[in-house]
Structure 1
Amino acid sequence: MENTDIKKTAEPLQAARFIKEIGRGKNGARSMSREDAQLLYSAMLEGRVSDLEMGGILLAMRIKGESTDEIAGFMAAAENQMQQLTAPANSRYAPVVIPTYNGARKKANLTPLLALLLARRGVPVLVHGVLRDAGRVATAEIFEALQHPLAQSVSEAKAQMAAGLPAFIAIDVLSPAMTRLLAMRRILGVRNSTHTLVKILQPFKQAALRLTSYTHPEYATMLQHYFSEVSPHARGDAFLMRGTEGETVANTGRAQQIDWFHQGQCTTLVHTHQTILGDLPDSPDEKDAAVTAAWIQAVLRGEIPVPASIAEQVEHCVLVAKMLLEREKGG
């Protein structure tokens, strides 16, 4: 599925009936059914909602918060507008999907290290996200500093994974329609439902392990319900953790809980450690992309030890990715 054109329908969607339900404030609003959520989000992705209605919808959902059925409906619509990939045929592991939409604001962004360590173990890794984020150091910038090419198409991403490299593909390539909705943040000044959706995308036709994160506790509750009850068999499993500045890489300063969602069951793999581990002795001095890239290269050469929390995260990913592929092959 290489076509990136947004599907167009001539008939605009009259969104007033949806806004009437979701726009009554945090306590008075009612959630949409999964079917209505899919219908509305499809129209939003296809450009069939006016700018005025779009602003009303995004702000109403921001105030109300998404229900699990709404997220499921939105996701069904998003998958119809998203390119899909196939995993390398000769891999011994199911692919691992790493979203990166936050980057680093205070400390070095070590998402590229996680991806490279997994790829070194033979796991197909797809990293997807934004190319830049004002005021933050994006994962794409660090990959560029590492002289790691960014995939310009699904075909390039597949080729990189087949060569044993982690593939980074921009959301602009993976889903131009979702990119347009993400960009609404620059106009409205606040995030919208699409920022939640991109962090739980599963772009593979086969089973994959998604690394997902949340920032606010209410999203943890919603996503736990989503992975365990609404979408327990969505082509693979998911790890859910509190984000490290929004990223899905383990925090090197304080171990945070990682929950594994497998066929509707939740298992806690890593428990929250209250002990503050402190900065690594040889941690990057700055969040700068070039400094972070040089530090990552030193880790990969064995000159600096892999942070213990990230090493543990890698092991859990490898074990589950292997199990997923074996289960899929076994039918």
Structure 2
Amino acid sequence: MSLAPYVRILARGQGRARSFTQDEAREAMTLMLREGADPEAVGAILMLMRMKGETAPEIAGFTDAAQASLPGWTGPAPALDWPSYAAGRTRGLPWFLLSARLVAEAGYPVLLHGWNSHQGESASVRNALPALGIAEARAPAEVGPALEGTGIAYLPLETLSPPLFALLRLRDKLGLRSCVNTVLRMLNPGGARAAVQGVFHPPYRELQADAAALLGLADLTVLKGGGGEFEHHPAKDIQTFGLRGGAPWTGTTGIQTIGHQRLSDAPDTPGALWEGTLRDPFAEAIVLSTADLALDTLGAEADAGTLWAARRRLAA
């Protein structure tokens, strides 16, 4: 089937063009992910949506189709879905990885998934994984054993779904971000009941929360975080959006430390911070405040500070 009817819906002209319904968005994304999809039509749809702005039903429909295109999930479902798709070229190290590991050690398996290879070496999520004992899955089938073992795994997008990866990389040709970035944050490939999501632009907080409700997600926290990741600046009281028990929810992060530091001011050795050979109050505050937000999303009674004091040293 041609994508032309879907281009026409968005591009009929002033007074006639409209947004997709959720069903139309699902149908359009299904076609866009098929081998041989017309690249001009795919690009037209993505850029027309960027110009008008995405709606929650569109994001939900696109995500529904993207989820349906994934290989069947094997192994245990994660408790928490943690997407990582930020550009963040100027941000510091991914301290949120320590937060995710802390949540996993509390007994809540965490699935990280994303694509960050465009980042500089010092800020790369993947470069930080080995020092933190977080397995990078080379195939979707490797995720289950990792979750059963350490309780945490990172699944690269190009491993999870080459077609979705190709849609994301259209940014290199179009020169602009598209709604695919938002869809990937909503992807939840392991079917977790709870998720945390970071955004760079504040309007996406409510958009993603509304789309998640349409998709039936139970618990979600969306945060304008460092470089667009789910990572809290501990000296800022930031408004959060999401879901609790499937119902709309808003909150604030609170302030955990005083100062005017930037996230990039933290030291560049996350492994040393975890091992205890480095003590840096600001970096620890990033990790703990982010972990507390994730634990709250899960409805956990655990306290990040207590978990941090009892964490397992990787070198032991």
CA displacement 1:237-256 (0-9 Å, x = unmatched): 21111131111121245342
Unaligned runs of 5+ in 1: 1-12, 286-291, 325-331
Q: How far is 1:178 from its partner?
A: 0.7
Q: Which amino acid is 1:75 matched to?
A: T
Distance in 1 separating the partners of 2:200 and 2:258: 19
Distance in 1 separating the partners of 2:227 and 2:109: 25
Name the TM-score, length of structure 2 as normaliser.
0.81
Q: Which residue of 2 aligns with 1:172?
A: 158
Given that 1:25 and 1:60 are in contact with CA atoms closer than 8 Å, whether structure 2 keeps it comes out as no
Q: Which residue of 2 aligns with 1:317?
A: 294
Distance in 2 separating the partners of 1:282 and 1:135: 13
Asked whether 1:107 is paired with 2:82, we answer no
For the structure 1 residues 52 and 247, does the alpha-carbon distance in structure 2 shift closer, same or farther, using more than 3 Å as the test? same
1:78 corresponds to which of 63, 66, 76: 66
SS class of match (1:245): helix
How many residues are treated as equivalent by the alignment?
297
Name the TM-score, length of structure 1 as normaliser.
0.78
SS class of match (2:195): strand
Q: Which residue of 2 aligns with 1:208?
A: 193
1:247 corresponds to which of 217, 220, 229: 229
Q: Which residue of 2 aligns with 1:327?
A: none
Distance in 2 separating the partners of 1:184 and 1:313: 31
Q: Which amino acid is 1:100 matched to?
A: S
Q: Which residue of 1 aligns with 2:45?
A: 57
Q: Which residue of 2 aligns with 1:47?
A: 35
CA displacement 1:7-50 (0-9 Å, x = unmatched): xxxxxx32222212213579864101111111111000113431
- Percent of aligned positions that are identical: 25
Distance in 1 separating the partners of 2:131 and 2:152: 15
Q: Which amino acid is 2:250 matched to?
A: T
Given that 2:79 and 2:108 are in contact with CA atoms closer than 8 Å, whether structure 1 keeps it comes out as yes
Distance in 1 separating the partners of 2:57 and 2:286: 34
Q: Which residue of 1 aligns with 2:5?
A: 17
Q: Which amino acid is 1:177 matched to?
A: P
Distance in 1 separating the partners of 2:14 and 2:84: 29
Asked whether 1:96 is paired with 2:85, we answer no
Distance in 2 separating the partners of 1:201 and 1:23: 27
Distance in 1 separating the partners of 2:55 and 2:178: 13
Distance in 1 separating the partners of 2:210 and 2:5: 27
RMSD value over aligned CA atoms? 3.1
For the structure 1 residues 122 and 297, does the alpha-carbon distance in structure 2 shift closer, same or farther, using more than 3 Å as the test? farther
Given that 2:98 and 2:270 are in contact with CA atoms closer than 8 Å, whether structure 1 keeps it comes out as no
Q: How far is 1:190 from its partner?
A: 0.9
1:35 corresponds to which of 23, 33, 49: 23
Unaligned runs of 5+ in 2: 302-316
SS class of match (2:91): coil
Q: Which residue of 2 aligns with 1:257?
A: 239
Q: Which amino acid is 2:294 matched to?
A: C
Q: Which amino acid is 1:21 matched to?
A: I
For the structure 1 residues 102 and 116, does the alpha-carbon distance in structure 2 shift closer, same or farther, using more than 3 Å as the test? same
Given that 2:117 and 2:126 are in contact with CA atoms closer than 8 Å, whether structure 1 keeps it comes out as yes
Q: How far is 1:167 from its partner?
A: 0.3
Distance in 2 separating the partners of 1:302 and 1:26: 62
Given that 1:280 and 1:307 are in contact with CA atoms closer than 8 Å, whether structure 2 keeps it comes out as no
For the structure 1 residues 281 and 100, does the alpha-carbon distance in structure 2 shift closer, same or farther, using more than 3 Å as the test? closer
Distance in 1 separating the partners of 2:116 and 2:180: 16
CA displacement 1:289-329 (0-9 Å, x = unmatched): xxx3x2343244274256335323323433543669xxxxx
Q: How far is 1:81 from its partner?
A: 1.0
